[in-house]
């Protein structure tokens, strides 16, 4: 049976838009770090209390590009339903160990900021992936 949602691009769900907003917050933080904001205590276990070294700042640029692309997938209709669902499930799964790593961070600031944010991302990305608008036909039939 042909899945009509696999090639269509339905609008983003509310959960997808919330995830995109959260992800854009992460993008802004990564951009600030890359530009030299002295917020190293709030990332990577707080190992660098001030401005991050140049090599880590390059990593921030790569991270902001990845999170920006994920925000676009989560919060827009750029990707097909099939592609969006798979990316959102994968991103939600990746956020679980990220939340755990933030939870065990020696940096209290990192734990205060990033644990709630990564848990919120797990929830919103998962909900966006399960949204009725991009659910496979078999799941939509069981919901209805």
Q: What is the mean pLDDT of the chain?
A: 91
3 found inside a domain: no
Q: How far apart are CA 39 and CA 29, in angstroms?
A: 9
48 found inside a domain: yes
Task: Tell me the angle at which helices 108-129 and 14-34 cross, rounded to the nearest 10 degrees.
Answer: 140
The answer to whether the beta carbons of residues 79 and 129 sit under 8 Å apart is no
Residue numbers of the domain that contains 107: 12-143
Q: Which pLDDT tens digit goes with each residue over 55-86? A: 999 999 999 999 999 999 999 999 999 999 99
**Is the pTM value of this prediction over 0.75?**
yes
87 found inside a domain: yes
5 found inside a domain: no
7 found inside a domain: no
Closest to 73 (Cα-Cα) out of 131, 4, 33, 141: 131
4 found inside a domain: no
Strands in 30-89 per DSSP E? none
Non-local CB neighbours of 57 within 8 Å, separated by 6+ positions: 33, 34, 36
116 found inside a domain: yes
How many structural domains is the chain composed of?
1
């Amino acid at each position: 049976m042909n899945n009509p949602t696999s090639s269509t691009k339905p609008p983003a769900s509310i959960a997808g838009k919330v995830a995109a907003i959260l992800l854009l917050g992460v993008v802004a933080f990564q951009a600030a770090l890359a530009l030299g904001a002295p917020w190293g205590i709030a990332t990577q276990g707080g190992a660098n209390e001030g401005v991050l070294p140049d090599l880590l700042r390059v990593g921030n640029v790569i991270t902001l590009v990845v999170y920006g692309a994920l925000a676009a997938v989560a919060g827009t209709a750029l990707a097909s339903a099939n592609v969006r669902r798979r990316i959102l499930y994968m991103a939600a799964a990746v956020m679980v160990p990220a939340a755990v790593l933030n939870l065990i961070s020696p940096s209290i600031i990192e734990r205060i900021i990033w644990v709630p944010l990564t848990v919120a991302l797990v929830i919103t990305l998962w909900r966006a992936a399960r949204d009725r608008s991009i659910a496979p036909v078999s799941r939509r039939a069981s919901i209805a």
